[in-house]
Amino acid sequence: MVTRIKVWMIRIRDSFWFVPAIYSFISLILAVVFHHVDEWMVGEGNYKLPRMLVISDEIARGLYTSLVTAILTMTTISFSVIMVVLTTYSSQFSPRTLQDFMQSKVTHHVLGVFCFGFMFALINLVLIGTHDTIIGPILMVIISIFCLAFFIYFIHHAARWLQVSSLIEYIHYDSSRVIKDFFNKKEFGEFEMWDESELRRLKRLPHHVLQAKNAGYIQKIEWQSLVNWARLNDCVIDLRQQIGDYVTKDLPIVTVYSAYDSLELEPIREYIIIGSERTDLEDIEFNIQKLVEIAVKAVSPSINDPDTATDCINRIGSVLTDLGNGFKEIPYLTDKKNDLRVIRKTKPYENYLYKSFYQILYYGKEDVSICYSLLEVLYKMSISSKDYAIRRKIWAFHYYIVNSIDWDSLQDLDRQHVESIYRKLKEVSRKI
């Protein structure tokens, strides 16, 4: 049950219908409530307000009719703008970036406000009788002003999102959030090493295998819940897949080592969320992949925008620097008593380096500016890194880039330009 709720929450996060549906429901309730209040105020002579506030039913009906049309027109234009943004993202940036705009709270709430105003005007138009009214038209005017303000702001918002620099900045910000969550203090123990004799003894215990029911990407794993479940059942969970991995149906995803011959493994499914799309909830590599795809598109002959690729390379370097400061491979999770409960696969820092730059290098190595930017970002990462081991890994990785550059084919000025940043990188590396 918990898994279905979380999968549903992930799906509605990327949908356009949920927030507008909430706004529409609230609008329905308010329209009915204020209609009854209006009837009470104008009936039986219970209201004692200036006549200028009382609006006849004909004027109210005309107001509601006009505003229903106007708000529906603004909603239609907004949906057209959304489709333009999504088409641009898919064709010029990366199909993976579509969900970034779809997850924007501004987009959802703007559509929600339009639906609120449309439903409020439409329901009042249906409920209006033959008597005068007070509250409904006044509220409708206020709501219409808000709709107009939100429409203007949405046009500004969409225009800003069409700028590739804004998209890159957003992905960078979202990556920082994922890294921050990754390093947050947990309620369970984390260890890089474990006693080998205990691990060999563990492998000799009876084991139970849990297979995936459906194909999809692992979107989220509830680590604390897995540790608690293993503690309650006095067992050790060996997680054989990682967040972001694609699993096929019946693929083994978990092996449970326990002294008990029989063990119900189905509850574990509640803590491993598998969905049809890869998400950026806890997947740092997926955010880096978005930046890589934007950079690769930028260096393609059809777009030919190396400055955008350089911006992506710099942002990737910033993400990798944040990740490297305090980065540890932690495959062993324990409960509060430091008893081993979960074994998981980890990604070495070298893996992030390779996945970040290998495609950009392959498609952009003929461009001097791209080669220079790749060496420059490694130079900046080496200076910014606080971890000696990470700096050594950066230096070891730089050979992959240097050896891919065709130095003999470079013009003299190009060669001097690239060698200048390479010398800086080597000077920093001498201090390692």
pLDDT in tens, 284-301: 889 999 999 999 999 988
Alpha-carbon Rg for the chain, nearest whole angstrom, is 29
Whether residue 230 is predicted with pLDDT greater than 60 in this model: the reply is yes
pLDDT of residue 3: 46
Residues 207 and 159: their CA atoms lie apart, in Å, by 56
pLDDT at position 317 is 93
Tens digit of pLDDT for each residue in 132-188?
Answer: 677 778 888 888 899 999 999 999 888 888 888 888 898 888 888 888 877 776 778
Which of residues 291 and 8 earns the better pLDDT score?
Answer: 291
Percent of the chain with pLDDT over 90: 23
Of 39-43, 90-94, 181-185, the least confident: 39-43
Model confidence at 107, in pLDDT bands (50, 70, 90)?
confident
Residue 114 near residue 82, CB atoms below 8 Å: no
Rounded to the nearest 5 degrees, what angle is found at the Cα of 77, between the Cα atoms of 76 and 83? 95
Token duo for residue 232: 């309650």
pLDDT tier for residue 2 given thresholds of 50, 70 and 90:
very low
Which tokens belong to 187? 């309620």
The mean pLDDT of 190-216, rounded to a whole number, is 88
How far apart are alpha carbons 397 and 316 in whole angstroms?
A: 15
Contact in structure between 326 and 384 (CB atoms under 8 Å): no
Q: What is the pLDDT of residues 250-296, one digit of tens each?
A: 899 999 998 877 788 888 888 888 888 888 888 888 999 999 999 99
pLDDT at 7: 53
Instruction: Identify the H or E element spanning 354.
Output: helix 349-364
Region 332-349: mean pLDDT is 89
How does 189-213 read in b/e, with b if 16+ C-beta sit within 10 Å?
A: beeeeeeeeeeeebeeeeebebebe
Report the distance separating Cα 62 and Cα 85, nearest Å.
35
* Beta strands 252-258 and 207-211, pairing class: antiparallel
User: Has residue 47 got a pLDDT over 70?
Assistant: no
Q: Would you say residue 48 has pLDDT above 80?
A: no
Query: Using CA atoms, how far apart are residues 223 and 185, in angstroms rounded to an integer?
Result: 12
pLDDT over 70, % of the chain: 91
Q: How confident is the model at residue 246 (pLDDT cuts 50, 70, 90)?
A: very high
CA atoms within 13 A on the CB side of 174: 25
pLDDT: which is higher, 50 or 281: 281
CB atoms within 10 A of CB 281: 18
334 has which bridge partners? 189, 340
Q: Of residues 372 and 51, which shows the higher confidence score? A: 372
Asked whether residue 103 carries a pLDDT value surpassing 80, the answer given is: no
pLDDT at 313 over 90: yes
Distance separating alpha carbons of residues 220 and 7, to the nearest angstrom: 9
